[in-house]
Amino acid sequence: MLRTNSLRFRAAVVFALFGALISAVLSGALYWTVKDVGNNLMRETLRAELDDIAERHGRDQVFVPPNTVAFRGYVLSPWEPEERVPDQVHHLQPGWHRVSMEGGNYLVLVADRNDARYFMLYNTDRQRAREAFFLSALVVFALFMISGSAVGGFLLARRIVSPVTRLADWVGEAEPGTKHLPPVKLLRNDEVGELARAFERYVHRLEEFIEREKNFAGDVSHELRTPLAVILGSVEVLEQDERLNDRQRERLARIKRSGLEMVEMMRALLLIARERMAGADEPLCQAESVVNEVMDRHRALLRDSAVELELSVLASPALFVERSLYYILVDNLLRNAAFHTRQGHIRLKLEADRLEVSDTGIGMTSEELARAYDRHYKGKASAGFGVGLSLVKRICERYGWQVQIDSLPGQGTTVVIRFGGDSLRNLPEPVA
């Protein structure tokens, strides 16, 4: 089926319009020329007939009026009776006129010669019929030109576009890792060859970019894991020191907790950056245990605030997702809620097919809601860095989940994550 936005369709339309324009110009010029020639012939014929009759009448003083299918003639003179001249032409002055009489249309030439006034009439009905027939033929010709131009444009465009189509098919079927196009495409000394060479140059630049990203991710992972391992190892050694008081042990616990969170965050970011293969198995994650762990952490962070955390577990789904990614998703939702809630409550509800986080915070305006998923976008009253919801969105897209945000200024925000895709395989029965 020919798509209306395809190059072949547009080429056929352009050819059809071009054919219509050319045929309209030619048809109009031909029709005007034929009509003008016909009018001139009728006028020249009338003038010649009138001159001949006037000469014979002036010489013989006998007027024999022509009365044929095409011509009629009349005269007004002192020696001719006036009643012979029809009323439709009797009052006409010298010159050219058009009259209708006796069911016909006539071109009239009036001239004064030899003290007499002559009237010559030419019946134009047959000429007008020939012009109408010629106009119909021109219309048929124009329609033929338009349809022929459209068909020709389609066939020609198909031939012209076929190399581009073959190149697109080859690119679409190319396997990952293909570095070079077929030489026949690159050696073509035309626009298709230039397109192929430009595409290959783009592929090379893209490969270099991906290679730099891989190297960067690997270097960052290695360079960060080493100092984090040193920090966590030092914390474990310090925890064995019996001389530490409770305040110092609490600070060590915060350092250890932040270090472990950084390790999990780094692992999650590397997982997101890595392309997820279709059909790849994901580890099983117990959603309730992750939710409880995140809630315990935020209870400790909000214990001195006027915000109350509430947890409602209506089901305990087992999700086929990376645990670190699900942990970051829940943690970011609770962190955003805590950033924007000064008093009231934050509720987290876990069901068999969804996770819901609601708060009584400052809410979002329609403009903020429209840009909530934009990376590094922060609302006017936001205290974060603008990556929380963007990261949540990327995790949901990875697993085919749906995320929905409902918010009103001054009335709080509700975020609903609906599980879907392959993550709900073998979903256990809800916990009563």
pLDDT at 145: 80
Would you identify the CATH topology of the domain 281-424? Heat Shock Protein 90 (3.30.565)
Instruction: Outline where 64-124 has alpha helix (H).
Output: 87-90
For residue 407, the cross-strand partners are: 413
CATH 3.30.450 range(s) for the chain read 7-143
57 Cβ contact list (under 8 Å, min separation 6): 63, 75, 77, 114, 116, 118
The ranges of the chain annotated as CATH 3.30.565.10 are 281-424
Say what the pLDDT of residue 200 is: 75
Domain ranges in the chain with CATH number 1.20.58: 191-270
191-270: in CATH 1.20.1070: no
**Predicted pLDDT at 130:** 87
**What's residue 27's pLDDT?**
84
pLDDT in tens, the chain (432 residues): 455 666 777 777 787 788 778 888 888 888 889 888 888 988 998 899 888 888 887 777 777 777 787 888 888 877 666 667 888 888 889 999 999 888 889 999 999 887 888 898 998 888 888 888 888 888 888 888 878 777 777 777 777 777 777 777 777 766 666 666 665 555 566 677 777 777 777 777 877 777 777 777 666 666 677 777 888 888 888 888 888 888 888 888 888 877 877 777 777 767 666 655 444 566 788 899 999 988 988 887 788 788 889 999 999 888 888 888 888 889 889 988 888 888 899 999 999 889 999 999 888 888 888 888 877 666 655 554 445 688 888 888 888 899 999 988 888 999 999 998 766 654 444 444
pTM listed for this prediction = 0.50
- Within a 13 Å sphere around the CA of 258, how many CA atoms are in the beta-carbon half? 9
- Per CATH, domain 7-143 is 1.10.287: no
Please state, in angstroms and as integers, the Cα–Cα distance from residue 11 to each residue in 2, 96, 195, 219, following that order: 12, 51, 20, 52
